[in-house]
Amino acid sequence: MMIPRRPLSRRTFLRGALGGLGVALALPPLEAMLGPRAAGAQVPAFPPFFGLFYFANGMPWHARHGGEQAAAGYPDLWTPGTTGAGFAPSPLLEPLARHRPTVVTGLEPHTEVPPAPPGQDDGHMRGFMVAMTGDRIRPEGFDHPSHTLTALSPSLDQYLARHPGFYDAPPRFRTLEVGISRARFHDYGHWNAISYNGPDSSNLPMMEPSALYDRLFAVPPDTREADRRRRVLDAVLGDANTLRTQLGATDRARLDAHLEHVRTLQRRIELASPHCEVPGRPGDDGDLLQKTRTMGELLALAVSCGLTRVFSVMLTSPATTHVFSNLGVPEDMHKICHDGRWEWVRDITRYQMECFAAFLDAFQAPQPDGTTLLDQGLVYGTSEYGEGWKHSVKELPVLMVGSAGGRLARGVHVREVDGNLCRAQLTALRALGLDDAQFGRNGAETADVLPGLLT
Amino acid sequence: MATDDACIDAYVRGLGRRLYRRPLTEDEVARWVAVSRDTAESDPLRGAESVLAGMLQSPAFLYRVEAGEPSPDGDGVRRYTSHEMGARLAFFLTEAGPDDALLDAADRGELLSPEALETQARRLLSSPRARAAVQSYFAQYLDLGRLEHIELDPVRFPGFSRALLRAMETEVRLLVDELVFRRGGDIRSLFSARRGYVNADLATLYGVDAPGATASAFVPVTFPEDTPRAGILTLGAFLTMNAHRIETSPTLRGKYIRERVLCQDVPPPPDNVNLDLEREEGDPPTLRERLEQHRENPACAGCHAFIDPPGFLFEHYDSMGRWRDAVDGYPVDSTGDLDGVPLDDALDLAKALSTHPRVGACMTRQVYRFAISRLDGRGDRAPLAAIEAAFAASGYDFQSLLVATVRSEGFRMLAAPEGQP
């Protein structure tokens, strides 16, 4: 079948941003250049894309996070003053205003917390897991002292990419995962990734623009090489099928996940897209903002030429220890949250929003047909809890940017005090065309979308 | 042509045995010989390359397949097969697949007896790979990976650098290597021995004479009795990775001792407690006094009375591990306690840890978890007790702990399926 592709712009997305390297303008194939519209067809309904954008350590705290936060006396710089459309951006939302985000405030996780093993109520971990997966931490294997945990359910990106209602024919990359800051609270486990297939199976992000570039564009140079790779993978599948017969149900499921991955590799070889206007290979220099922008440009390109429709971005890793020395903050972010340094957290949060906005610029850039990628998809931004001083999970920030093919209202503020965080996730999934009756697990189940957002 | 076929056949069998850690089945041999033939084009090496690339992606290589077999000891108990034991042993002690000698022993079905396992374990422990694997174990046990991310305030800590952090890590590695391989002895003395390995930077940091030490050359030193260094908890790595950029952290240091050294569970702060140690106008600004707030607030007191007191013992060492008598003009108070036993300082703690019953038990448990690649459960209590007894009988010799672990039923028998006692 033909997968509709966006007509490609001659203005590459990867302007001067890529480490000062020149952009190689390989002329795209004629059919891709012209696009269906030039051939007189109707404007194609491009299938929607989904991006998950994660930033660490929540918001600067204020009275709505709890009693002691109220006593600290700091203002709420995040929640807009009015609800509905046309709200005035709050100070922390100003950097994003150019992308007309829809903002949902007041939400929190509603999952139940099992009493054992202890520590599952730690805001970092509980809030994080619900924000990523709509489910709680997997109690089996949870170990609070070493901060070892795993997901019980797939993260939103993987849930969507595996959903029968999302992909008809998966593109070359079912999902892509990238990360920006290298700082880690620990160098193991969930501290390295926000994307999960399920228990004990995370998708490590690519940490450098050059790595993402190579994944997207380094394809076998000729069909003979592609044939060879396919033949080798056939044999790998043969080994796996032999092994499969020896395994119990749990291990078989794990192996099946592996097989699925091998088949994905095979499919990538088959779908090596000739339709991309391949830019120059980016450098990996630059600060967080620059790196985020470059990743955004590469992912926008991947979406626009049909290489993927689902991606996740970990700007900073959970409980980030990133030192934002560029903002004059001398200590790592997790530490200054604990120390109650509100002004620094405010500055960092604003900077993280600037990074998010820079990431979105390429998705907001006009295409030849006058639309933007954000008209066709949705980037969902969130964090691990409400605030990092006392790890309150109240007022967990949620942003939805894009109209998902006209199904989602842009620039609207919805406020649901003490509302179930999974309602935002269900709303996003519905906007992307899924007909799930409900979302959320283990106490967080909901069948209610947020009001006034789906059109 | 026949020669080529024989050559490919031997190549596939040899490579497969090393990568899959067992002999290939005839089906597998046929499958990979076909890959080699089909992709060779005119160059047999090209076909061989395809086989290598493919086997490295095979689940038979990427996963350690442990199906087990019924144990002759009876009643539904399953043990690992001889080849599975070869892989378990090799990955545990060398962080690599089995070598030829181990594969040969596995082929002969030898690796089912504790005695043969001990023989192989002792052989592996004499290899350089085992020394590297033990380092990898200790890096995880002691959480050394965190060192790399430490940032200290450059104004307060002018000598701080990435090179210094690397030197601190190297020092721990050299001490571990000495205690496990080069000298042997009671591994628990890691927390009390007056030994160090210093390069020029560390010698300056500790204020010790270290003839021969340069930026890159580390020399062993014995810290004199009148110096405040005894055991790795008084050396750079521990002190630096459990401190903040400017201030120390008795809480982090105490937590590390509770969790890493004594295997005690420290629960997280309860929801919505004030983690801020507010500093009011006019308060004496010592960290200890601000931390005392932890103990005045009943929501915090339960845990912090457990965590902070051993951490206070280290207050004489700043965030980089330098000795100090005063902080911002206030004399240092390093008194604290461990489980109700009052102690004056970190040197008192070192003495206490050198014979503390939890230290050996904790090491046993950590090694056991590393060996079986999962957390221990109720069913592991008996094997753990047996290993700990053997460890104690050896005078807490670390290699003996490894051997006792390998011999243990917990390492040789498959765990009961989940949900069973």
**Whole-complex ipTM:** 0.76
Question: What integer pLDDT is reported at residue B370 of this predicted model?
Answer: 93
Question: What integer pLDDT is reported at residue B123 of this predicted model?
Answer: 98
**Band of the pLDDT at A72, cuts 50, 70, 90?**
very high
Q: How far is B387 from chain A (nearest CA, A)?
A: 23
Identity of residue A32: A
SS3 B12: helix
CA distances from B169 to B94, B142, B240, B274 (A): 21, 10, 11, 34
Q: Where are the domains of chain B?
A: 3-62, 138-354
Bridge partner residues of A148 (DSSP): A143
Phi, psi for A454 (deg, rounded to 5): -85, 135
Contact between residue A156 and residue A427 where contact means Cβ atoms under 8 Å apart: no
- pLDDT at residue A127 greater than cutoff 90: yes
Contact between residue B89 and residue B117 where contact means Cβ atoms under 8 Å apart: yes
Q: Do B245 and A330 touch (CB under 8 A)?
A: yes
Q: Which of A143, A183, A233 sits opposite B375 (nearest CB)?
A: A143
Q: Do B271 and A321 touch (CB under 8 A)?
A: no
* Nearest chain B residue to A387, by CA: B272
For the stretch A208-264, pLDDT in tens is 999 999 888 876 666 777 788 888 989 999 998 888 887 878 788 878 877 877 777
Contact between residue B35 and residue A235 where contact means Cβ atoms under 8 Å apart: yes
Phi, psi for A205 (deg, rounded to 5): -75, 150
Chain B CB within 8 Å of residue A116 CB: no
CA-based nearest residue to A282, from A89, A11, A12: A12
| Mean pLDDT for the stretch of residues A352-376 | 92
The rounded percent of chain A whose pLDDT value lies above 90 is 63
Using CB atoms within 10 Å of the CB of residue A252, give its burial: 0 to 12 exposed, 13 to 18 middle, 19+ buried. middle
For residue A203, what is the DSSP state? E
B contacts of A187 (beta carbons < 8 Å): 145-146, 148
**Band of the pLDDT at A30, cuts 50, 70, 90?**
very low
For residue A378, the tally of other CB atoms under 10 A from its CB is 25
If you count residue pairs, one on A and one on B, with CB atoms under 8 Å apart, how many are there? 115
Which stretch of A102-106, A144-148, A293-297, B136-140 has the lowest confidence by average pLDDT? A144-148
Q: Do B146 and A239 touch (CB under 8 A)?
A: no
Q: How far is B263 from chain A (nearest CA, A)?
A: 9
SS3 A234: helix
Question: What integer pLDDT is reported at residue A163 of this predicted model?
Answer: 94
For the stretch B160-191, pLDDT in tens is 999 999 999 999 999 999 999 999 999 999 99
| Max CA distance (Å), chain A | 69
A contacts of B31 (beta carbons < 8 Å): 235, 238-239
Tokens of A455: 């059109």
- pLDDT at residue A364 greater than cutoff 90: yes
Q: Do A184 and B267 touch (CB under 8 A)?
A: no
Q: Do A391 and B271 touch (CB under 8 A)?
A: yes
CA distances from B145 to A183, B17, B139, B165, B168 (A): 12, 34, 7, 11, 12
For chain B, counts of helices (H) and of strands (E): 19, 8
Q: How far is B330 from chain A (nearest CA, A)?
A: 22
A contacts of B53 (beta carbons < 8 Å): 232
Q: Which of A66, A246, A338 sits opposite B275 (nearest CB)?
A: A338
Chain B CB within 8 Å of residue A226 CB: no
CB < 8 Å from A in window 401-420 of B: 418
Q: Report the sign of the C-alpha dihedral through residues A320, A129, B259, B191, in that order.
A: negative
Using CB atoms within 10 Å of the CB of residue A431, give its burial: 0 to 12 exposed, 13 to 18 middle, 19+ buried. buried
CB < 8 Å from B in window 397-426 of A: none
Q: Report the sign of the C-alpha dihedral through residues B288, B293, B294, B296, in that order.
A: positive
Looking only at the bridges linking them, the beta strands covering A378-382 and A50-54 are: parallel
* Nearest chain B residue to A246, by CA: B67
Distance between CA B90 and CA B102 in Å, rounded?
8
Q: Which of A231, A321, A392 sits opposite B272 (nearest CB)?
A: A392
Distance between CA A137 and CA A152 in Å, rounded?
6
- pLDDT at residue A391 greater than cutoff 70: yes
Q: What is the pTM of this model?
A: 0.65
Q: Do A118 and B265 touch (CB under 8 A)?
A: yes
Complete DSSP assignment for B202-256: HHHHHT---TT--SS--EEEE--TTSS--SGGGSHHHHHHTB-SSSB-HHHHHHH
Distance between CA B408 and CA A301 in Å, rounded?
56
Contact between residue A83 and residue A416 where contact means Cβ atoms under 8 Å apart: no
Exposure string for A221-234, b = 16+ CB within 10 A, e = fewer: eeeeebebbeebbb
Divide the 421 residues of chain B into consecutive groups of 10 and give the mean pLDDT of each group: 78 97 96 94 89 93 88 83 96 95 96 97 96 95 90 90 95 97 94 96 95 95 94 96 91 94 84 55 69 76 86 95 91 89 94 94 96 89 96 97 97 66 36
Distance between CA A323 and CA A318 in Å, rounded?
14
Q: Which of B34, B50, B271 sits opposite A228 (nearest CB)?
A: B50
Q: Which of B32, B145, B418 sits opposite A187 (nearest CB)?
A: B145
